[in-house]
Each structure stands twice: as structure tokens, then as C-alpha cells.
Amino acid sequence: MSAATTAFAADGYSNSSMRGIAARAGVDPALLHHYFGSKRLLFEAVIQPAYAIRERLVAMADRGASVEDLLEVLLSSCEDPTVGPAVMAAARSVSDSKAPSCEAIPRHRTPHPACAPPETSASSRPDHQHEPTDSDHALRRSLLAADVLGLVLARYVLRVDPLATAPHDEVISAFAPVLADHLCDRRSPRPSASLTE
């Protein structure tokens, strides 16, 4: 599995082959087909840790964790020698038309408690302040996905400096307000970077 993870993380889905992965692992390609069936199924097995990180981030956000904590977990996971390559493989697959469709990006399912608009009666609520619709939530999920994917790709896949070499605290300080803004209803008062405050 480690050989497949390394291959997908370094070369992407399309540029990796079962034969090449088998050679990297020092096994017969038939063994990979026996245990995984196909390259697609092998890839899906490889990126399972990325799904686990996504679910962890979603659970943290639903519990009201600060965006700083969310970003720290994301950055630490990407730099973890065990989990990081799986995240890189998932991130690379996003721009690969031949790769299986996957959601490597954490999705915030419900509005964050700190982002709820103030309680107002229907008669006193201004016309421009209304309950967020499904399309509002979908837009925020898309913005959040773009934020996180962009950070992962720029810092860890494309290695764009100075972002690629900046310390965690600098990245978090710069990125937290953007993430906080996209987690919340843009028509509601913007929260502070720390969503628990």
C-alpha cells in the first residue's frame, strides 16, 4: 500500500500504473489485481486517510472549533508522513480527468453556531436578512472547498513560495479570516477569526 500511496502522491492517478506500482513494491502485478481488483479500487483504498481527515475536520467544525484549530489539524495532517501522501494523492486527483471522482475536501454540513444571525421576528427582519437557503449553504461549501484545496495544492503539491515554507502560525494567521468568512452567511455580520469567541 505504501508503494501505491507514494506513486499516486508523486505522479498522480493517470501517470501511475498497476505495473509500475508493483515494480516499486517489488511484487508481481497479479498480486495487486488479486487484492485490489483494479487501479481505481487501489486508488480509493489509498486515499481513505484523506477521507478520515475530512470527516475529522467536519466533526470539529460542527462542534464549534475555531478556524485556527481546523487549519492546524489540516496543516499537521498534510505534513504527517503517514497521512500526508494520501492527502496529496487526493489533491492531485482533483485536476485529473481520468481519476475517480472524490471529495478530498472537508465539507461543513451545518451552519456554524457562531454564524447564526441574531434572533429577530419575521416582521422586524430587514428584507436583505433572511434565512440561508440550500443554495446559500451550497455556495459556502464550494467556497470552503476552494479555500482548502487551494491551500493544499499551493503549499504541498505546487510548492509555491513563500506559502510552501511559511511557518504554521503565519499561514493560519493569514488564512483564518478568509476561512471564517466562507464558513458563515456572508449577509450576516462577519465573525472574528476565532469562531468560538
pLDDT at residue 30, as a whole number: 95
Residues 58 and 134 in one domain: yes
Which of the four pLDDT bands, split at 50, 70 and 90, describes residue 131? low
Cα–Cα distance measured from residue 146 to residue 155, given in angstroms and rounded to the nearest whole number: 14
In Å, the largest CA–CA distance within the chain is 71
Cα–Cα distance measured from residue 61 to residue 148, given in angstroms and rounded to the nearest whole number: 14
Residues 2 and 94 in one domain: no
Please state the domain count of the chain: 2
What is the value of pTM for the model shown? 0.74
Q: Is 45 buried (19+), middle (13-18) or exposed (0-12) by CB count in 10 A?
A: middle
Q: SS3 for 55? A: helix
Cis bond leading into 162, ω under 30°?
Answer: yes
For 98-119, write each residue's pLDDT tens digit. Answer: 888 755 444 444 444 445 444 4
Name the residue with higher pLDDT: 124 or 57: 57
Residues 33 and 119 in one domain: no
